[in-house]
Structure 1
Amino acid sequence: MPIKLIAMDIDDTLLNNKMKITFRNRLAIKRAAKKGIHIALASGRPTGSMIEIAKQLGIEKTGYIISFNGASILELSTGKNLYQSAVNKELAHELIDLSKEHDVYIHTYLDNHIITEKRNKYTEIESEITGLSIREVSSLKDMVTQSVVKLLMLENPDRLKIVESQLKSRIGDRLSMYISKPFFLEFMGAGTDKGNSLSILADILNIKQNEVMAIGDSYNDQAMIEWAGVGVAMDNANADIKKIADHITGHHNKSGVAEAINKFCFAK
């Protein structure tokens, strides 16, 4: 079956280590879009920080944005939110308490700012990636007065893996929880992941599962790589993601996204 929808992660997938889109990636994506293939950017990033990347690819009037690791789907042609999930206030407050119990940083998003009680190097990395400014507050609970799209716990990777293991039984199935970057442990509404949102988008577009390709590198990409008819892992992906992928493409510094698009959408 021909590919009709391509979903791709941004960081360490579409972007190289200089945070740039290579010429080959840009050309392949534009070529696919011209052919009528739907393009979706799928990232843990907030929606606003993904729109500029859509503009660079020339899909700002035709593409889709799956942001916050699947918590939101935006149709760029209309500006319409096709899907939205959230973490309710009570669960958000519980996560804030748990972050203090486990002595890790935590932040969330409000009015296009990253909100945290204590500025730290990991939140600063998130600010650099997303372009959102950091707002330091005395009480995160006082700021979270309603549902939020996502919260992140942050610490060094070894420590965060321990915290993730300890929280699995506490959180259960009440929230979606997984590591994106090694120092980001992310929490979204129950059942929220890129795979679920990609499935929703495919249904809206009347596209079959085997007509979808998903490209990514990390644990937050696993669900969409497993769900898609063609699941592609980057050469720089971690070993667990490579194991579940149908195909391994090139490194993110060597235009691996273009390599996958050319192989599955244009190979004769």
Structure 2
Amino acid sequence: MKYKLIALDVDGTLLNDDHQLSAENKQAIAEVTRLGGLIVLCTGRSPQNSIPIMEEMGLAGYVLGHNGAATVRVEDREVLHIYGLDARGLDPYIEYCRARDIHYDVNTAFDMYVDNVENLTQEANFMYEHFRVTPASLPAWEDFREPIVKFTVFTQSDILDEAQREWGTWTQQYNILRSGEFFVDFMHPEASKGNALKHLAAQLAIPQTEVLSIGNYYNDISMLTYAGLGVAMDNSPVEVKAAADAITGTNNGNGVRDALVKYCLS
């Protein structure tokens, strides 16, 4: 099998729009694994809510969570590599969000914090329940004992569009990524799915030409362009498709299965 390391995005790629793993995708992944391929999840999600997907597929190995900001080993949940960001530099963005009632959260590798957990909006509560995450109230920066890896803003897409336009005029010290229609993520400048995948491949002595990645959104572009073969889902924006080497089916049509069959199992 040509590709030894296969990186899969989760939402919009591996999972369908109901955030379910299809039997077809699961079966193809099992066959790739049986033939010696190493499947890793490379996702904007936290390891906390992506490791259970690995376990559902019966896989050990690695999760590259928070858009690559934290690489975690599944078996023992050890954090192997991390890109910690400068938390105090987030203060102007937090002030911007508070002034406009825009929701945000702050993430370490495994934990999530919000401004006031008792006053979450109905939309935020639904989102966290949907993604199976339980946030805590945000402490002072000096009380954190672990590196902060990601700051996420969550609101309506038009409000996010305007916020991104304004933030684009500020001095840049973060990698600011649109990770979904309603999400913008702030990370260390070197944190990306592509860099995390590159680092893991080097650690495993797997050449770039033997890396396959599959994704569907702007935060996937770095791993699509790093991999020896980058495959975009058919439900991807046009810019993501343009960055990829190939296009597969949609996330609702088992596009991951189709790509694995074509490039790994044929």
Question: Would you call these one fold, judging by a TM-score over 0.5?
Answer: yes
* CA-to-aligned-CA distance 1:108-160 (integer Å, 9 cap, x gap): 2367344234523553354134311244x5xx463674441211112211120
For 2:232 and 2:42, locate their aligned partners in 1 and report how far apart those are by CA, in whole Å: 14
Tell me which residue corresponds to 1:52.
52
Tell me which residue corresponds to 2:7.
7
Change (3 A) 1:89 1:32: same
Contact 1:5–1:213 (8 Å) recurs in 2: yes
Change (3 A) 1:126 1:44: farther
Contact 1:73–1:82 (8 Å) recurs in 2: yes
Structure-2-length-normalised TM-score: 0.90
Change (3 A) 1:126 1:46: farther
**Percent of pairs identical after alignment?**
30
2:104 alignment partner, SS class: strand
Change (3 A) 1:74 1:141: closer
User: 2:65 is aligned with what amino acid?
Assistant: S
Tell me which residue corresponds to 2:66.
68
1:6 alignment partner, SS class: strand
Q: Cα distance, 1:226 vs. partner?
A: 1.2
Tell me which residue corresponds to 2:262.
263
For 1:53 and 1:199, locate their aligned partners in 2 and report how far apart those are by CA, in whole Å: 22
Q: Which runs of 5+ in 2 are unaligned?
A: none
Q: CA-atom RMSD, angstroms?
A: 2.0
Q: Write the mapping of 1:1-268 to structure 2, written as runs, cut at 5 A.
A: 2-59=2-59, 61=60, 63-101=61-99, 104-109=102-107, 112-117=111-116, 118-135=119-136, 137=137, 140=138, 142=140, 145-146=143-144, 147-172=147-172, 174-267=173-266
Q: Which runs of 5+ in 1 are unaligned?
A: none
Q: Cα distance, 1:102 vs. partner?
A: 5.5
Change (3 A) 1:200 1:158: same
For 1:244 and 1:218, locate their aligned partners in 2 and report how far apart those are by CA, in whole Å: 11
Q: Cα distance, 1:101 vs. partner?
A: 4.9
Q: Cα distance, 1:94 vs. partner?
A: 3.3
Q: How many pairs does the alignment contain? A: 261
Contact 2:88–2:141 (8 Å) recurs in 1: no
User: 2:193 is aligned with what amino acid?
Assistant: K
1:14 alignment partner, SS class: coil
